[in-house]
Amino acid sequence: MKQSARRFFGQMAMFCTCAMPGMLPTASAADLHVLASTALKPLLENVRPAFESASGDRLVLSWGASYASAPDALPTRLSRGEKADVVLMIREALDEQVAGGYLRADTVRDIATSRLGLAVQSSAPRPDISDVEGLRRTLLGARAIAFSSGVSGQYVASALLPRLGIAEQVKPKSLVIDAPGLAGQALLSAQADVALQQMSELLAVPGIQVVGPLPEAVQRVNVIAAGVTSNAQQAQGAQALIGYLQSRRTAQALKDSGFEPIVSP
């Protein structure tokens, strides 16, 4: 090999290694099939260009609920053998898929935490939900309250409202949005004036006013985790994506999408 050719390949190798450690492009580009909780849609669409540029792979993204038996729920899709290389969902739900043999236990990693939040219409006065009493007043004063049929909404109906002592008062004005629908959409259509859902899902709806997370005393914190499927055709690429989401490079993107990153050391 001529000296100029050796120099060229050496420079290319050094560029790939230095530009993005742990993210060397694969020998040939591949489609990386991702099944993810709907709450992660804004995040994954945000980081997709940088990851694809660094890895050379193309993300094929598909969304669904972490729980439930609906046709598009992630557990249902895994059970019927839908093509997937990596899955991202609530940790408890993901652990069930590991136990069922659909995901490799040795690849499971925690990515971020997610909190339940509250939003109102953009033109509405900003309510004070800094404490439990303020949250109770806001919910009692609402004309209609929207929440999801998914994990966050189940917590609202079965735990939050009873704990606040207002389950019976609020029940007639509760609007349940079928997962993976976004509760914030009900604010835009004026079907509700308060929406409760994970912060990431509220932030995904332009044109509404996201007040913030619920008080810690009544908060539900979910851990979002990822794992490689047992029959992954692109296992190496799937692990690269998990590592990328754990890295400091994506920490700000996670925060901007309403998550608290769990950064890999």
pLDDT tens figures, 171-186: 999 999 987 789 999 9
Over residues 202-223, the pLDDT tens digits come to 999 999 999 999 999 999 999 9
Q: pLDDT tens digits for 57-73?
A: 999 999 988 887 778 88
Q: Give the per-residue pLDDT at 24.
A: 46
**With a threshold of 0.85, does the pTM exceed it?**
no
Structure tokens at 188: 């835009």
Question: Which string of DSSP letters, residue by residue, matches 109-168?
Answer: EEEEEEEEEEEEETTS-----SSHHHHHHHHHH-S-EEEESSHHHHHIIIIIHHHHT-HH
18/194: higher pLDDT: 194
Q: What pLDDT does 71 receive?
A: 84
- What domains does the chain contain, in order, with CATH numbers? 3-113+223-261 (3.40.190.10), 114-221 (3.40.190.10)
Whole-number percent of the chain with pLDDT over 70 = 88
Q: Is the pLDDT of residue 19 over 70?
A: no
* pLDDT attached to residue 22: 44
| pLDDT of 259 | 96
38 to 168, 190, 243: CA distances (angstroms): 30, 23, 20
**pLDDT category of residue 28 using cuts at 50, 70 and 90:** low
* Predicted local confidence at residue 33, as pLDDT: 98
